[in-house]
């Protein structure tokens, strides 16, 4: 027998290190594994270690406080670190703290999360390969790195001239040196307020067109002058090029990188390395960029902070906005959350004084907000038995007036495809997806029926599959049909459509936007995609064709989303001060008395927020309670239900369950997707901490529980879910 002391002697000067490797959180396993190293390594060092029969990239981690060094396997049972990726500086302590927090809060393994948020390419490299990549980055010149989206090269980076897409010329003031517009009084006030040493997160509530970006630019300038890096998060990849262009224009002497999922793996690694090494001054990205390690952080900005895209919807379901706030505190840097329609959670935090609210209610240049007109569809004359027309007569007239004046109109309809369902009048067959509890959508352009949930795409049948009737007809209206109807209704008008279907190919969105900016379009039909951030100068009319659906949706956030969508959409109109006076937003509604529309008519976010928050308070919904969803997927609904019921029973028996309400398992709105049945169970608590304690104690046991429920394919927990 060898005693522990002997074993220690055997390994001599070997050092025992905790290492975060990619593995899910399981019962009985700590978040890190112990390995041996021949030299002491700083925490945060990237290493390669044997795991099972594989060699995997991993990170030397801070030793968990609970696990004493003499706990666990004897040193001689431990394996040795295979390689130290020493070309890279250790990942900073704040980065590890952020990952630690996120893994605990969102209930994922530390190693699982840490490795998932590193660039995938990084994990494929050996020490020598990494060293080469790092060496290549030395002395990177100023400008936007890889600005040309066409460059898919591995090493020869496109550098130098910052991106200036032609469509953005009016934004950036054209080529030339950095031009700094004179700030408005409101911007000056906000900038002055940012100077004070109030360390609370800033909620910048600025009307659409109030110039929030100029505030970001000025705040960034300060951080850059102080030798710091700036991290800017945006909700959509589509929004990065124009923001990139504005930052590049303002800071031509700085290195700017973007981080989002549309980059090639090589680009993403290069940009990440430049940020981590401190060579990039500005880092712009989507939600995953919140985990970018920064050598000298100075400012974090979250633009359009209310946007649901900041919530990751699979794997670790984190909120990048919430993590940005947490990270700013860790790093001791300011954070600005900007929006015209803040998330009600953020608004409430500001009301409680936890965030500092700064407001810019006026549009730049004194432009008026577009007038909001409610078109009461109940009062529109109609032939007996006729379906409601796509556009009521007054709206059609208003659009024709615009066309006559060479102004543009934007028609918003949040449903793509031609019609949401096909229907046989003879036997009542409908275009149900055979694999999902959803209709397949009719796309006329290629005569297909497509399921938007599982992707199943088939040719439209010539006749009803059930009874052979040749007369199967579309019901309802999507953007494709609206586009067709507009072309018929407005002869001679140039009608275009922008939605996920027309922009599937790389570069098509840019081309379509350029056509709109260039005045080649009279009427633009689009989904919410066109309401975000785009600066349309010639649009003086925005119309929501059928916005009522969300008023009565079961999702408690539906009203908040609708208000935000419509206010953003209204903000697309009259961006030119001169055109602002005659800009309008039209809403075709059957419910003109609804308080949401009344608040919208006054552009009164505050009144809307106050009313919504009161409803949420009474219904004990966020931000007045804290939610988590346990989801299960199985081949049968019964198997999913059995698992969740057993999980619920286990929860109810726990001492921590006292402050947490457990709701019975129910199917989500679309229960079956691709032949997988889904069920979910809601947990609610007035106390975030109580909910966290409960989840932490409960979830590890579910791994075991699942082994008794063979039918369950997957389960996952979603903390602070966006939809329930």
Q: Are 341 and 605 in contact (CB under 8 A)?
A: yes
Q: Are 470 and 462 in contact (CB under 8 A)?
A: yes
How is residue 354 written in tokens? Answer: 């936890």
CA–CA distance from 279 to each of 42, 227, 666 (Å)?
A: 22, 11, 50
Q: Check residue 426 for interaction with Zn ion (CB under 5 A).
A: yes
The nearest distance, CB 429 to Zn ion, in angstroms, is: 4
Q: Check residue 435 for interaction with Zn ion (CB under 5 A).
A: yes
The nearest distance, CB 442 to Zn ion, in angstroms, is: 14
202 forms bridges with which residues in the sheet? 336, 356
DSSP designation for 75:
G
Q: Check residue 624 for interaction with Zn ion (CB under 5 A).
A: no
Can you tell me which of 429, 556, 624, 663 binds Zn ion, judged by CB under 5 A?
A: 429
**Residue number with CB closer to Zn ion (440 or 561):** 440
The nearest distance, CB 433 to Zn ion, in angstroms, is: 3
**Residue number with CB closer to Zn ion (136 or 435):** 435
Rounded to whole angstroms, how far apart are CA atoms 530 and 557?
A: 21
Q: Check residue 427 for interaction with Zn ion (CB under 5 A).
A: yes
Looking only at residues 229 through 258 of this chain, which bind Zn ion when binding is defined by CB under 5 A? Answer: none
Q: Check residue 441 for interaction with Zn ion (CB under 5 A).
A: no
Q: Among 4-12, 429-437, 486-494, 571-579, which window interacts with Zn ion (CB under 5 A)?
A: 429-437
**Residue number with CB closer to Zn ion (191 or 456):** 456
**Residue number with CB closer to Zn ion (263 or 422):** 422
Rounded to whole angstroms, how far apart are CA atoms 608 and 509?
A: 33
What contacts 155, CB < 8 A, 6 or more positions away?
136, 266
**Residue number with CB closer to Zn ion (429 or 663):** 429
Can you tell me which of 122, 433, 545, 585 binds Zn ion, judged by CB under 5 A?
A: 433
What contacts 370, CB < 8 A, 6 or more positions away?
540, 542, 570, 573, 574, 580, 583, 584, 585
Looking only at residues 453 through 512 of this chain, which bind Zn ion when binding is defined by CB under 5 A? Answer: 453-454, 456, 464, 466-467, 469
The nearest distance, CB 452 to Zn ion, in angstroms, is: 8
**Residue number with CB closer to Zn ion (464 or 609):** 464
Can you tell me which of 18, 344, 360, 424 binds Zn ion, judged by CB under 5 A?
A: 424
Q: Among 445-453, 536-544, 619-627, 686-694, which window interacts with Zn ion (CB under 5 A)?
A: 445-453
Q: Among 22-30, 384-392, 419-427, 567-575, which window interacts with Zn ion (CB under 5 A)?
A: 419-427
The nearest distance, CB 466 to Zn ion, in angstroms, is: 5
Can you tell me which of 325, 377, 436, 712 binds Zn ion, judged by CB under 5 A?
A: 436
How is residue 554 written in tokens? Answer: 């079961």
- The bridge status of strand 371-376 relative to strand 584-589 is parallel
How is residue 173 written in tokens? Answer: 């003031």
Secondary structure (DSSP) of 102-135: HHHHTT--HHHHHHHTS-GGGGG--HHHHHHHHH
**What's the distance, Cα to Cα, between the start and end of the chain in Å?**
58
Size of the site for Zn ion (CB under 5 A): 15
Q: Among 235-243, 379-387, 407-415, 418-426, which window interacts with Zn ion (CB under 5 A)?
A: 418-426
The nearest distance, CB 88 to Zn ion, in angstroms, is: 44
The nearest distance, CB 314 to Zn ion, in angstroms, is: 18
Q: How many other C-beta atoms are found inside a 10 Å radius of the C-beta of residue 657? A: 20
Of 644, 645, 648, residue with least CA distance to 632 = 644
Q: Are 665 and 645 in contact (CB under 8 A)?
A: yes
The nearest distance, CB 715 to Zn ion, in angstroms, is: 22
Q: Which residue has the tokens 């795991």?
A: 51
Helix then strand then coil, % of the chain, to nearest 5: 35, 20, 45
**Residue number with CB closer to Zn ion (473 or 689):** 473
Can you tell me which of 451, 599, 627, 724 binds Zn ion, judged by CB under 5 A?
A: 451
Of 520, 532, 516, residue with least CA distance to 566 = 532
**Residue number with CB closer to Zn ion (373 or 435):** 435
Q: Are 479 and 526 in contact (CB under 8 A)?
A: yes
Q: Check residue 15 for interaction with Zn ion (CB under 5 A).
A: no
The nearest distance, CB 454 to Zn ion, in angstroms, is: 3
Q: Are 496 and 523 in contact (CB under 8 A)?
A: yes
Rounded to whole angstroms, how far apart are CA atoms 411 and 208?
A: 18
Rounded to whole angstroms, how far apart are CA atoms 346 and 204?
A: 10
The nearest distance, CB 460 to Zn ion, in angstroms, is: 14
3-class SS of residue 229: strand
The nearest distance, CB 441 to Zn ion, in angstroms, is: 10
Q: Check residue 671 for interaction with Zn ion (CB under 5 A).
A: no
- Name the residues that contact Zn ion, by CB under 5 A: 424, 426-427, 429, 433, 435-436, 451, 453-454, 456, 464, 466-467, 469
């Amino acid at each position: 027998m060898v005693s522990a002391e002997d074993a220690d002697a055997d390994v001599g000067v070997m050092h025992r290190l905790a290492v975060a490797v990619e593995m899910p959180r399981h019962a009985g396993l700590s978040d890190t594994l112990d390995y041996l190293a021949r030299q002491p390594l700083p925490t945060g060092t990237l290493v390669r270690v044997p795991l099972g029969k594989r060699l995997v990239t991993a990170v030397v981690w801070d030793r968990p406080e609970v696990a004493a060094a003499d706990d666990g396997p004897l040193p001689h049972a431990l394996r040795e670190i295979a390689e130290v990726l020493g070309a890279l500086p250790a990942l900073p302590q704040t980065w590890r703290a952020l990952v630690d927090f996120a893994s605990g809060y969102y209930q994922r393994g530390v190693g699982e999360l840490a490795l998932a948020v590193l660039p995938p390419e990084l994990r494929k490299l050996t020490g020598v390969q990494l060293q080469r990549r790092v060496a290549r980055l030395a002395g990177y010149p100023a400008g936007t790195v890889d600005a040309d989206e066409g460059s898919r090269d591995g090493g020869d980076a496109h550098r130098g001239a910052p991106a200036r897409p032609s469509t953005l010329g009016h934004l950036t003031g054209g080529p030339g040196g950095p031009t700094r517009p004179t700030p408005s009084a409101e911007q000056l006030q906000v900038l002055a307020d940012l100077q004070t040493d109030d360390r609370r997160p800033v909620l910048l509530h600025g009307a659409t067109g109030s110039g929030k970006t100029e505030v970001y630019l000025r705040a960034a300038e300060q951080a850059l002058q102080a030798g710091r890096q700036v991290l800017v998060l945006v909700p959509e990849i589509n929004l990065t090029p124009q923001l990139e262009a504005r930052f590049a224009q303002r800071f031509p002497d700085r290195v700017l990188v973007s981080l989002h999922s549309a980059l090639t793996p090589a680009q993403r690694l290069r940009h990440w390395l430049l940020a981590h090494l401190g060579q990039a001054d500005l880092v712009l990205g989507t939600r995953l960029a919140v985990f970018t390690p920064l050598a000298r952080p100075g400012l974090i900005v979250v633009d359009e902070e209310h946007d649901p895209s900041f919530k990751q919807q699979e794997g670790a379901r984190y909120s990048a906005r919430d993590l940005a706030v947490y990270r700013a505190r860790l790093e001791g840097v300011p954070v600005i959350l900007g929006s015209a329609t803040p998330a009600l959670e953020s608004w409430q935090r500001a009301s409680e004084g936890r965030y500092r609210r700064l407001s810019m209610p006026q549009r730049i240049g004194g432009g008026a907000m577009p007038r909001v007109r409610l078109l009461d569809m109940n009062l529109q004359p109609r032939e007996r038995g006729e379906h409601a027309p796509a556009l009521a007569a007054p709206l059609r007239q208003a659009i024709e007036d615009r066309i006559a004046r060479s102004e543009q109109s934007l028609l918003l309809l949040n449903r793509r495809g031609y019609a949401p369902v096909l229907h046989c009048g003879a036997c009542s067959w409908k275009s149900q997806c055979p694999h999902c509890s959803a209709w397949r959508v009719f796309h006329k352009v290629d005569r297909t029926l497509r399921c938007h949930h599982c992707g199943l795409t088939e040719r439209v049948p010539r006749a009803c599959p059930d009874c052979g009737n040749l007369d199967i007809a579309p019901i309802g209206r999507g953007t494709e049909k609206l586009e067709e109807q507009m072309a018929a209704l407005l002869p001679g008008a140039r009608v275009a459509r922008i939605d996920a279907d027309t922009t599937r190919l790389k570069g098509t969105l840019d081309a379509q936007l350029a056509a709109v900016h260039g005045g080649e379009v009279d009427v633009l039909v689009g989904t919410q995609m066109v309401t975000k951030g785009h600066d349309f100068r010639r649009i003086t009319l925005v119309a929501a064709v059928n916005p009522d659906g969300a008023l009565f949706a079961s999702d408690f956030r539906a009203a908040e989303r609708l208000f935000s969508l419509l206010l953003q959409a209204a903000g697309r109109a009259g961006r030119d001060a001169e055109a602002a006076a005659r800009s309008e937003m039209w809403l075709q509604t059957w419910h003109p008395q609804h308080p949401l529309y009344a608040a919208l008519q006054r552009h009164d976010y505050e009144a809307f927020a106050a009313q919504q928050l009161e409803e949420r308070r009474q219904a004990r919904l966020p931000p007045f309670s804290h939610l988590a969803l346990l989801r299960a997927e199985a081949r049968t609904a019964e198997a999913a239900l059995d698992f969740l019921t057993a999980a619920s029973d286990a929860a109810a028996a726990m001492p921590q369950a006292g402050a947490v309400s457990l709701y019975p398992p129910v199917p989500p709105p679309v229960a079956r997707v691709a032949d997988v049945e889904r069920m979910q169970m809601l947990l609610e608590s007035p106390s975030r901490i109580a909910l966290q304690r409960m989840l932490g104690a409960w979830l590890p046991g579910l791994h075991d529980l699942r082994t008794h429920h063979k039918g369950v394919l997957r389960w996952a927990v979603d903390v602070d879910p966006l939809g329930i």
